[in-house]
Amino acid sequence: MNAPEKLPASHVMKTYRRLPMALSHGRGCWVWDTDGKKYLDGLGGIAVNTLGHAHPKLVPALQEQIGKLIQSSNYYQVPLQEKLAAKLCELSGLTNAFFCNSGLEANEGALKIARKYGHDKGIEKPEIVVYDKAFHGRSIATLSATANPKIQAGFGPLVEGFVRVPLNDIAALEKVTLSRPNVVAVFLEVIQGEGGINQATIDYLRALRRVCDERDWLLMLDEVQCGLGRTGKWFAHQWAGIVPDVMPLAKGLGSGVPVGAVVCGPKAADVLGPGNHGSTFGGNPLAMRAGVETLAIMQEERLLDNAAKVGAALKAGLARELSGVAGVVEVRGQGLMLGIELDRACGELLGRAASAGLMISVTADRVIRLVPPLVLSLDEAAQMVAILCPLIRAFLAETQPS
C-alpha cells in the first residue's frame, strides 16, 4: 500500500476510518488498487461478493439487464421479483418474500412484521427478544436492537420494546420472558458477525424453535451476513434442521448489487398488507436479476460445497499455524465465515494485512474476520494462511494484551 503523504480534502462525510488506498478492479478472489498493487480478498466487500469480482457469467447478465430495464416501480408486476422470491422460498422452505435494498432495511421489515403480528393479536406494546453482542444495522430501530453501546451512543432515545438476553442460554431466555406477556418474537443472528463470530448452537436453535412454537412467538433469524451459502448450507440455521418464521437477507444475495429481502413463513407472510410497508428501489429489476443470477451460479458452480470444503481447510490451516501462539484465544466459525480472536485489540492488522497484499477485517476490537468470496480455492486459502499467520505472530510479539 503506497500511502500518499497527504490526502486531499474530502467532501464525503467522515463516517468511516478509511485506509489511504482505493480499489480499482477485481477478478475472482483478487483485487487491484489504483496503484496497481494486487490483494487477495479475504473480505469480499464485507461478506457481499459471493461470486468474487467480475464473475464471467454475472457480468454479461447484468449488462443485458441494464440495457433492458433497471427500475420499474412497485406499481406494477415485477416478474423478476416473482422469480427471485420463488427461488428463495424453494431454498428456505418459506413462502413469501419482500424486497428491499440492504441488511438494515431487511431487519426493519422484520421488526415491523413482529410489531404488527403483536398488534394483530391485541398486544399494544409488543416486545422483541434480542441478544448480547448482536448487530442488526444502523437505523434507529436496528441500532436499538444492536447490543454495542458504541453504535448506540449519541442516538438516543432508542426505540423501546427490546428485551436483551445472552446467547445460547435457554434458561436465561425463559427467566427473562416469564413475566413479559408482551413478547412476540425472538430475533438473532445464527452466527453473530460484527459481534465477533459467535455461533448459536444447534441445540439452542432447536430449543428456540420449540419455545417460539409453544408461545406463539415469531422466530426471526437475521441471516444477512451468515446466510446465502457462506456456512456451506443455503442458510446457517439449516444446520439445525429448523425453519424460521422470518429471515432477513442482504449482503451476498446480489453478489455486490444491493439487494435485501425479508423471507417469511406462513405465520408471518400475511401480516403486512397494502400500505403497511414499501420501498421505491426495493425489488427493482436490476437487483432482482443480480439475485436470480447469483443463486443460479452458486448452484451451477456448487459454491455451497466449496464454501464448506475450502472453509474447513482455511480454518484448519489457521488453527495449525496459530496453535500454541501466545495471544491467540480461538479460531472459530463455520465455512467461509471465520474469526481469529486475539487477547488484544488488533485493528491495526487491517493496514498491516493490506500492506502484505491481503484484505481482512477486524470486528469486536479483537477478532480478525475472514469472509471471502465463496469462489475461494484451496490454493488461495493456503495463500491466505501463509500471509496472515506471520502477520498475527509478529503483531503479538510486538504488542501487549489489552
Ligand X SMILES: Cc1ncc(COP(=O)(O)O)c(C=O)c1O
| Residue ranges that bind ligand X, judged by CB under 6 A | 102-104, 107, 135-137, 189, 193-194, 222, 224-225, 250
Q: Tell me whether residue 103 or residue 161 sits nearer to ligand X (CB atom).
A: 103
* Residue nearer to ligand X on the CB measure, 249 or 349: 249
Helix 58-68 with 285-300: angle, nearest 10 deg: 160
Q: Compute the least distance from the CB of residue 132 to ligand X, in Å.
A: 14
By C-beta, is 47 or 85 nearer to ligand X?
47
Output phi, psi for 235, to 5 deg: -130, 140
Closer residue to ligand X, CB minimum distance, 288 or 391: 288
**Identified catalytic residue from 41, 116, 162, 222:** 222
- Among residues 116, 251, 267, 315, the one annotated as catalytic is 251
In the complex, the smallest distance separating the C-beta of residue 44 from ligand X, rounded to whole angstroms, is 12
Classify each residue of 292-307 as buried b or exposed e, where b means 16 or more C-beta atoms within 10 Å of its C-beta. Answer: bbbbebbeeeebbebb
227 by DSSP, 3-state: which?
coil
- 35 given a catalytic annotation: no
Smallest separation, CB 383 to ligand X (Å): 26
Smallest gap from residue 259 Cβ to ligand X (A) = 10
Long-range contacts of 67-70 (CB under 8 A, 24+ apart): 68/285, 69/285, 69/286, 70/284, 70/285, 70/286
Q: Which three cell numbers stand for residue 315?
A: 480454518
Q: Which of 98, 135, 162, 187 is catalytic?
A: 135
Residue number with CB closer to ligand X (103 or 317) = 103
Amino acid 225 reads Q
As measured in angstroms, the least distance from the Cβ of 380 to ligand X is 23
Residue 135 bears catalytic tag: yes
Q: How far is the CB of 281 from ligand X (least distance, A)?
A: 13
The span from the CA of 151 to the CA of 131, in Å, is 15
Please count the CA atoms within 13 angstroms of the CA of 375 that sit on its side-chain side.
24
Residue nearest to ligand X (CB): 103
Asked if residues 135 and 147 have their Cβ atoms less than 8 Å apart, the reply is yes
When the beta carbons of 224 and 298 are compared against ligand X, the nearer one is: 224
Give the nearest distance from C-beta 332 to ligand X in angstroms.
Answer: 16
Q: Is 222 a catalytic residue?
A: yes
Going by C-alpha positions, the residue among 107, 117, 97, 185 that lies closest to residue 139 is 107
Q: How many residues are given for the chain? A: 402
* Contacts for 190 with CB less than 8 Å, ≥ 6 apart: 199, 200, 205, 221, 222, 223, 226, 227, 235, 236, 237
Rounded to 10 deg, the angle between the 378-398 and 303-322 helix axes is 30
Looking at the Cβ atoms of 189 and 293, the one nearer to ligand X is 189
Distance of alpha carbon 338 from alpha carbon 52, whole angstroms: 17
Residue among 271, 299, 293, 264 at smallest CA distance from 99: 264
- Active-site positions read 135, 222, 251
